[in-house]
């Protein structure tokens, strides 16, 4: 006899089911997205967490349980992986975009002191910038 599910999967909307089917069949989506979509659809079709994991090529029914719980709270955003550990991200998207914008700019020998960027000269240019 199996244990009672603490957080059973809520009923999928037609739009969610359509998106999950598209992701499940996609050849261009990351493999982690495809596996998560397969797991959620399998649970929605009545499979146990363990069977859903096996059908998606994974081993852990507990991971499917956590995914279902997250899907119930976040919807389709649960397909996206979160930060996988390690040091927390230092810069947000706005800061990253600003750094990339500066790196794409051709350096001026008069103001930047170089004709090609190195990490050191790029950092100096960012610190000198008015928004740095």
Taking only the tens place, the pLDDT of each residue in 44-90 is: 999 999 999 999 999 999 999 999 999 999 999 999 988 778 888 78
Place 92 in a pLDDT band, splitting at 50, 70 and 90: confident
Cβ–Cβ under 8 Å, residues 121 and 107: yes
Q: Among all chains, which residue has been given the structure tokens 């600003």?
A: 98
- Confidence at residue 3, expressed as pLDDT on a 0 to 100 scale: 63
How far apart, in Å, do the first and last CA atoms of the chain sit?
62
Q: Judge whether residue 2 has pLDDT over 70.
A: no
- Confidence at residue 97, expressed as pLDDT on a 0 to 100 scale: 92
- Confidence at residue 27, expressed as pLDDT on a 0 to 100 scale: 94
Percent of the chain with pLDDT over 70: 96
Alpha helix positions (H), the chain? 14-25, 31-44, 49-55, 61-74, 93-104, 109-112, 119-128
CA distances from 36 to 13, 18, 66, 72 (A): 17, 14, 11, 13
Q: Judge whether residue 91 has pLDDT over 90.
A: no
What's the whole-number average pLDDT of the chain? 90
Lookup: tokens for 63: 């991971």
Q: Record the pTM.
A: 0.65
């Amino acid at each position: 006899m199996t244990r009672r599910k603490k957080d059973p999967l809520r009923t999928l909307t037609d739009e969610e089911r359509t998106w999950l089917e598209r992701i499940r069949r996609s050849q261009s989506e990351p493999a982690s997205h495809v596996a998560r979509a397969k797991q959620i659809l399998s649970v929605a079709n009545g499979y146990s967490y363990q069977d859903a994991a096996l059908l998606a090529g994974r081993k852990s029914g507990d991971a499917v349980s956590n995914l279902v719980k997250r899907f119930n709270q976040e919807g389709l955003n649960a397909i996206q992986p979160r930060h996988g550990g390690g040091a927390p991200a230092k810069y947000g998207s706005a800061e990253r975009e600003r750094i990339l914008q500066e790196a794409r700019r051709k350096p001026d020998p008069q103001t930047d002191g170089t004709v090609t960027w190195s990490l050191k000269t790029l950092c100096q240019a960012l610190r000198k910038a008015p928004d740095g």
